[in-house]
Amino acid sequence: QVQLVESGGGLVQPGGSLRLSCAHSRLSLNYAIGWFRQAPGKEREVVSCISVGNDNTYYSDSVKGRFTISRDRAQSTVDLQMTSLKPEDSAVYYCAADYPGPLILERLCDVDDFGSWGQGTQVTVSS
Tens of pLDDT, residues 58-101: 999 999 999 999 999 999 999 999 999 999 999 999 999 999 99
Percent of the chain with pLDDT over 70: 100
Q: What is the mean pLDDT of residues 12-18?
A: 98
For 45-66, write each residue's pLDDT tens digit.
999 999 999 999 999 999 999 9
pLDDT at 1: 82
Distances, alpha carbon 60 to alpha carbons 47, 73, 82, in Å: 5, 24, 13
Distance CA 86, CA 114 (A): 26
